[in-house]
């Protein structure tokens, strides 16, 4: 079983690994059943999906018919205006076969112009607040990636009291001094304000480049169990941080196995050896 930790001010004790449901992009009943079996086996009690993740919400819907009470359920909207977000979110509830989610997240909010629309009059934030008041969601979060996202999350959380943030975190990503500085500033802010901190892109080996894409992840993932162990244990070694699992069902068992055996964070020389041996590179530069 994977340890659980308090998910910020929500008070929910979520598994330190959250199921990243981008892995369910295309509907496949056998694959969906295998994923659910793994979640139940390892005690995963938190699912993160998005309206823009292909068939993901449709795949999760049948699970909610049977197991809604077992999961903290999060989805996202990438829409920037009130009306677009409202329409998309109600469609998400239909696909997820539920009358509410636990967390509604403003998705990939990194572009400053889009940020102004989303946070301004008639923006998606207005809808998210209304949805919370109506009991359609319990909490509101914000997500994103790219090097600029930690700084943008600081701007977002200064503007509105978000309950959670989501952004990339890995050993290679943290070798970028600009990103490292802003990530640590955000981490301190989240810790001080009891904001849950979710991380993504944790087992990146490198961008696909010209190589054939053999996994459903947006990057070439680590494949060796020991390297995945090191990457996962390094992330979980940061207190209070959650890891959203990779978007590939066939890689998922290795990530969950690694997390179930977490004891301590690997030292830098171990991580540097993996970086050199596997020609690892950050996804965002």
Tens digit of pLDDT for each residue in 112-159?
999 999 999 999 999 999 999 999 999 999 999 999 999 999 999 999
Helix 82-96 vs helix 56-67: crossing angle, to nearest 10: 50
Task: Report whether pLDDT(183) > 90.
Answer: yes
Task: Report whether pLDDT(37) > 90.
Answer: yes
The domain locations on the chain are: 4-277
Question: Tens of pLDDT along 57-67?
Answer: 999 999 999 99
Q: Quick one: pLDDT at residue 29?
A: 86
Q: Please, which pLDDT band fits residue 70 given cuts at 50, 70 and 90?
A: very high
> Which of 30-39, 224-233, 273-282 has the lowest average pLDDT?
30-39
Neighbouring CB atoms inside 10 A of 192's CB total: 8
Span 162-167, average pLDDT: 98
115: helix, strand or coil: helix
Dig out the tokens for 122 from the structure. Answer: 């008639």
What is the full DSSP assignment across 23-59?
A: GG-S--HHHHHHHHHHHHHHT--EEE--TTSTTHHHH
Q: Quick one: pLDDT at residue 30?
A: 87
- 43's CB contacts (< 8 A; 6+ apart) are 1, 2, 4, 15
- 141's CB contacts (< 8 A; 6+ apart) are 74, 103, 104, 105, 106, 162, 163, 164, 165, 166, 196, 198
Give 18's strand partners: 244
Superfamily holding 4-277: NADP-dependent oxidoreductase domain (3.20.20.100)
């Amino acid at each position: 079983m994977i340890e659980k930790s308090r998910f910020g001010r929500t008070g929910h004790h979520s598994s330190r690994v959250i199921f990243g449901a981008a892995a369910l992009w295309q509907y496949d009943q056998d694959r969906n059943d295998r994923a659910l079996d793994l979640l139940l086996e390892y005690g995963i009690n938190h699912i993160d999906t998005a309206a823009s993740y292909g068939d993901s919400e449709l795949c999760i819907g049948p699970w909610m018919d049977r197991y809604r009470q077992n999961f903290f359920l999060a989805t996202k909207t990438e829409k920037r205006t009130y009306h677009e977000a409202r329409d998309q979110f109600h469609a998400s509830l239909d696909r997820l076969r539920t009358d509410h989610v636990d967390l509604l997240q403003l998705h990939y909010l990194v572009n400053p112009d889009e940020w102004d629309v989303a946070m301004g009059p008639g923006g998606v934030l207005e809808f998210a607040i209304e949805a919370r008041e109506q009991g359609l969601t319990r909490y509101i979060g914000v997500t994103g990636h790219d090097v600029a996202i930690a700084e943008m999350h600081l701007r977002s959380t200064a503007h509105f009291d978000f309950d959670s943030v989501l952004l990339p975190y890995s050993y290679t990503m943290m070798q970028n001094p600009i990103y490292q500085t802003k990530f640590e500033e955000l981490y301190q802010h989240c810790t001080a304000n009891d904001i849950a901190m979710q991380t993504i892109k944790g087992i990146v080996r490198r961008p696909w480049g010209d190589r054939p894409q053999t996994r459903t992840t947006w990057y070439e993932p680590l494949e060796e169990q020991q390297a995945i162990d090191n990457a996962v244990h390094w992330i979980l070694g940061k207190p209070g941080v959650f890891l959203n699992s990779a978007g590939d069902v066939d890689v998922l068992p290795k990530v969950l196995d690694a997390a179930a055996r977490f004891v301590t964070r690997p030292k830098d020389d171990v991580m540097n050896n993996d970086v050199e041996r596997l020609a690892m590179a950050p996804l965002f530069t």
